[in-house]
Structure 1
Amino acid sequence: MIRIDSVTQPNIAGAASSQKAAASSTFADLLAEQAAKLAETAKSKQEDTPAASDQTTATEEKSMVNHRDELMRLLSMSPAELIRYQMLDEMGLTEESLKNLPYEERMKIEEMIEEEIERQLGSKEGIGDIAAQIL
């Protein structure tokens, strides 16, 4: 009695291994091509890197100048101006956007700012004294 699966197994395994060999050689070729493409891309990026780093440095310098200018502007503000700036910033407003608001809304915000300045710096007389000392 001959076993069918013992006879057919080697042929199936042989066919599968030859397909795997063909597939792996194709895969190996594709892998080699991709590695070559990546190497070319990396080489071209290295050539472009000095220009990119110069642009980054210029951007960083502009950012530092902007931060420095903003800090100097904040340091030159009087206490009342600083409180006003902080309150507007918390509300997500600038002086320009405040001017563009409707009159009633702008007056409410101005009143809130004035009350906060009085609260932090003292009475209105105290604000005048501080302003006189600064000037």
Structure 2
Amino acid sequence: MVELQATPLDAVFHALGDPTRRQMLRELAGRERTVSQLAEPFAMSLAAASKHVKALEAAGLIRREVRGRTHLCRLDPGPLASAAEWLNFYERFWTGRLDALERILREEDAARTPTSQGDKE
């Protein structure tokens, strides 16, 4: 049986795959917040918010600091760079493909369009 090991990039995309976690990251981009503050806009329990925070932590996207009973979270954007790099490869790929398609379509249009001299004759 083959065991598949998740890479750090897998964890980042897993974390980003949930809209709640994406919104939490957006909130943390402004400033650090407690788990309670992160849970508040979603009307979710602290236990549910904590599960989301753990997924973000596992991906390395946030750091959590415990101060007494308060858990403060802050954004660590470093792992987003690897996700952006991966996406940039495909952005270049699709840009190249779409540029090639545009050239072909322009060539076809030019071949179908009569020249200005042909219109006068």
Higher relative contact order (CA 8 A, sep 6+): 2
TM-score normalised by structure 1 residue count = 0.31
TM-score normalised by structure 2 residue count = 0.34
Which structure is larger by alpha-carbon Rg, 1 or 2?
1
Larger proportion of strand? 2
